[in-house]
Structure 1
Amino acid sequence: MVTVRNVTRRFDSGAGQVFALRGVSFEVRRGELTALKGRSGSGKTTLLNLVGGLDRPTSGEIELDGTGLTRLDEEGRLALRRERIGFVFQSFGLIPILSAAENVGVPMRLRRVPVREREERARTLLALVGLADHAQQRPGELSGGQQQRVAIARALANEPSLIIADEPTGQLDSETGRSVMELLRAVVRSEGVTALVATHDPALMELADRVVELADGRIVEAAPGASAPGAA
């Protein structure tokens, strides 16, 4: 599903050049939940931004389901993000004045999905994440775990092939965080999507099919997660 080949990302600063990624190569298999771990500053968010088409590498190649991201212009990357990638953020990223159902419907509005179809899809997705009874509540009326569930439903709105999540449990307590991660894993199975999740929580890595570790902008280890067949 995702192929990263010898990717480097360099930033220019007043003190010279800073390398966030140095020759990173790895793959994410279709239908797999891959956890990306590493200390703060290891390059996790930079790598997610590159895979998600939010940034361009200084060198190297990235492919998503056969499409070369590095060969797309800004308009092409925008279309790719809108149609094939769902994002889940640590800070939830919900619009405060909209209800849960309306937040889930935002990506479909951007694609001009008809109102009736949009509303039905939003209801279905909120039911999938266990929030069917909270569709009309606004983010401020929901707990942190519930808000992140809405964010996961929103990420699925346009039936993406890939979900990218950057520290999705970072603002949640450990029990709520684990339940959100379990939900994400269940969604990967039931919806047939692929997920790349950055996390620093060892308990959450146990739920992944595979764990890729970054340190100082380099891959230092790629291993099966505890939930992968034969991992034990």
Structure 2
Amino acid sequence: MPVTGTGTPMRRTADGPGPEAMVAVRDLVRTYGGGPAAVRALRGVTFEVPRGELVAVRGRSGAGKTTLLNLVGGLDRPDAGRVAVDGVDLAGLGERRLLELRRERVGFVFQTFGLIPTLTAAENVGVPLRLRRAPRHEREARVELLLSLVGLREHAAQRPGELSGGQQQRVAIARALANRPALLLADEPTGQLDTRTRETVLELLRAVVDSEGATVLLTTHDDELLRRADRVFELRDGVVTAGR
């Protein structure tokens, strides 16, 4: 059963999001460990990501950026606060529905890439399409297009261990876009790319927003990526302290 319409809709209220928000975060708290050694990664974060925008979160290492993406993507649960994606309150979803949400609406680009080492680049990109049982011809055409867009068509048959870090990052980005996600979450997507490839990825992320109407929420230290974002938030010590 698809996730559409499931969960608890977060309708507009005095303190709730409007219908234009793809992501709505309210008073989000996440703490790791306990006692004197406890680490408060997020300390009451509140913000919204409008639909169809490229939104960047910047901040020093340890500021809570990756934790925030994991909570928005339903990979982790908050200690307090609320997260809504596309109008659905994640707290109202069980693990099966969270899995459906991630499969159908959300694409992920992790710093560690998350590629399957035994699969080729093309097979890795095609995994999300296989999970939703896309016809073979559709799957192959989409994979070829995405590998071409990230400049890796000639490397389609190579496995991750045969690719450089930058090439693996590009495969990860192509895979995240395979199902045309409504929301793309990316953790430092240009962090390991050379100048030329970085420019290609920047243009691709911008095109995903402008041409396909997707929403992109990413973390970055890349000044050029920050400049091209529609909106920028800053996380400092687990709190949103600034934005534009």
TM bin (shorter chain) = 0.7 to 0.9
2:137 pairs with 1:104: no
1:134 maps to which residue?
Answer: 155
Q: 2:233 aligns with which of 192, 207, 212?
A: 212
2:94 maps to which residue?
Answer: 73
**TM-score normalized by structure 1?**
0.87
Higher mean displacement: 47-56 or 138-147: 138-147
Given that 1:178 and 1:204 are in contact with CA atoms closer than 8 Å, whether structure 2 keeps it comes out as no
Runs of 4+ in 1 over 6 A off after TM superposition: none
| Structure 1 residues without counterparts, runs of 5 or longer | 224-232
1:150-229 mapped onto 2 (5 Å cutoff): 150-174=171-195, 176-223=197-244
1:129-184 CA-to-partner distances (Å, cap 9, x unmatched) read: 34334333333444443332221111011221000001122223455434423322
2:29 pairs with 1:25: no
Q: Quick one: percent identity of the two aligned structures?
A: 65
Q: 1:4 aligns with which of 25, 28, 34?
A: 25
1:13-48 CA-to-partner distances (Å, cap 9, x unmatched) read: 353543111111111111111110001111101100
**TM-score normalized by structure 2?**
0.83
1:37-76 CA-to-partner distances (Å, cap 9, x unmatched) read: 0011111011000001001111111111111112111111
1:105-130 CA-to-partner distances (Å, cap 9, x unmatched) read: 11122223333332222123223334
Quote the Cα distance in structure 2 between the aligned partners of 1:211 and 1:63. 19
Quote the Cα distance in structure 2 between the aligned partners of 1:205 and 1:36. 9
Quote the Cα distance in structure 2 between the aligned partners of 1:91 and 1:28. 25
Structure 1 residue identity aligned to 2:136: V
Aligned residues: 223
2:142 maps to which residue?
Answer: 121
2:57 pairs with 1:40: no
Higher mean displacement: 121-130 or 152-161: 121-130
Quote the Cα distance in structure 2 between the aligned partners of 1:54 and 1:70. 12
Query: Alpha-carbon deviation of 1:198?
Result: 0.5
2:174 alignment partner, SS class: helix
Quote the Cα distance in structure 2 between the aligned partners of 1:130 and 1:176. 8
Given that 2:149 and 2:204 are in contact with CA atoms closer than 8 Å, whether structure 1 keeps it comes out as no
Structure 2 residue identity aligned to 1:90: Q
Root-mean-square deviation (CA, aligned residues, Å) is 2.0
Given that 1:52 and 1:85 are in contact with CA atoms closer than 8 Å, whether structure 2 keeps it comes out as yes
Quote the Cα distance in structure 2 between the aligned partners of 1:196 and 1:66. 16
Quote the Cα distance in structure 1 between the aligned partners of 2:238 and 2:66. 11
